[in-house]
Amino acid sequence: MTELLEYALLLYMRGSRLSNVWSYSSSILRNSIRPGSLALEIVGLALGLTGLLLNVASRSLLIVYFAGLLAFLLIWNTYAVGLLLHSQVSRAHRIELLLKSRAKLRAHEKRREIYINAIGVKDVIETTFLVEAVSLPVKTFYVRLQTDHQDHVIDRQRDWDIEEGRAVRTDMYKIGRKYAEFIVEHSLFRAIFKGDPREIHVVHRADLVDPIKDWVGIDIIEETGLALLRAWFPPGVRPLPDTIERFKMKGADEIPMKGRPQRVSLDEASQRWFIEDTFSNCELFVSYCLRWEAVEESLEDPPSPAILSQLAPRTDRTEACTDV
């Protein structure tokens, strides 16, 4: 109850309007009324058969049965909504901590490279932050990740590395019925100071991305001057440029963005295709994303004429184009 009063006070202090309160309440109601799983349907069938048998046996037993069932449903739904409300309040509190930490840091640049592997093999997500303190030194550093795998669990010991500190806490919150948000708190070995920009490297290994059809994103939780997002495909997988979409994600809402990614190229050394885009003047608490479709092709197949013209030496490019 104390947390609920604190959240109500937070809404009042921020001058939230009645529409925001209604949106929050309706979100709880929508999420509390969900289609039952197979297990719940089996339980419901069993309860129905029990009621039918009691109806045959005795009307008085049937009345007692339904009264008990109604009481159980009321208690259960109250408990379920209470758990959801507690989760919402807890997430609001963690977001407040993020807001406070964001106000203490400024990111000159943020880069995220995702090395996508085949399904069943963990992808490697590398994020580099070039940050400095706004005023006082900062030793607590937060990283936020969003995914559409709501069953994903971050293992800080095996699948999460940070060179400049250690991860001390991970919170996961479900956004609607599709997305999940992870907030990872780090304690840095050495504080970040004003006027001394420093790079912080975070690596996450997880099987989250389907190379044939999926999306990736970069999350903005502090003032960021420039954000770069690059996705590397497995050898033998080529993205289709016409299918690539740029969009922003606020919570569970996808907002389309105009234009095409800056680069869709084949890296000759690694024989891996990649797509790349940069974003400036980034909005806070927004994920900038790229979605694509790709095809598998044999590594022994020769590159297309367009790729040949790009990879040929400068003196041979005219001849290569003439041969097409």
**Strand bridging mode 226-232 / 105-115:** parallel
Token duo for residue 184: 């990872």
Can you read off the two tokens belonging to residue 301?
């197949």
SS3 15: coil
Q: Please check whether residue 239 is in contact with residue 290, taking contact to mean a CB–CB distance below 8 angstroms.
A: no
pLDDT of residue 57: 61
* Collapsed DSSP state (helix, strand, coil) of residue 194: coil
- What pLDDT digit, counting tens, does each position of 262-278 carry? 899 999 999 999 999 99
Environment class of 100 (CB within 10 Å of its CB; exposed 0-12, middle 13-18, buried 19+): exposed
- What the chain holds in terms of domains, given with CATH numbers, is 2-100 (no CATH), 105-319 (2.60.40)
The pLDDT tens digits for 173-232 are 787 778 888 889 899 999 999 999 999 999 999 999 999 999 999 988 888 889 999 999
Q: Mean pLDDT in each 10-residue stretch from start to end of the chain (324 residues)? A: 43 43 46 47 58 60 65 63 61 64 82 94 95 90 88 89 92 81 90 93 95 94 90 95 92 86 91 94 89 82 46 38 34
Dihedral, CA of residue 257, residue 124, residue 96 and residue 174, to nearest 10: 80
Residue 261, beta-bridge partner list: none
Q: How far apart are CA 240 and CA 257, in angstroms?
A: 18
- Closest to 294 in 3D by CA, of 270, 268, 274: 274
Q: How far apart are CA 17 and CA 298, in angstroms?
A: 57
- Candidates 318, 120, 314, 102; CA nearest to 219 is 102
pTM of this prediction?
Answer: 0.64
Within 13 Å of residue 253, how many CA atoms lie on the same side as its CB? Answer: 4
Please tell me the distance from the alpha carbon of residue 311 to that of residue 290, in angstroms, as a whole number. Answer: 25
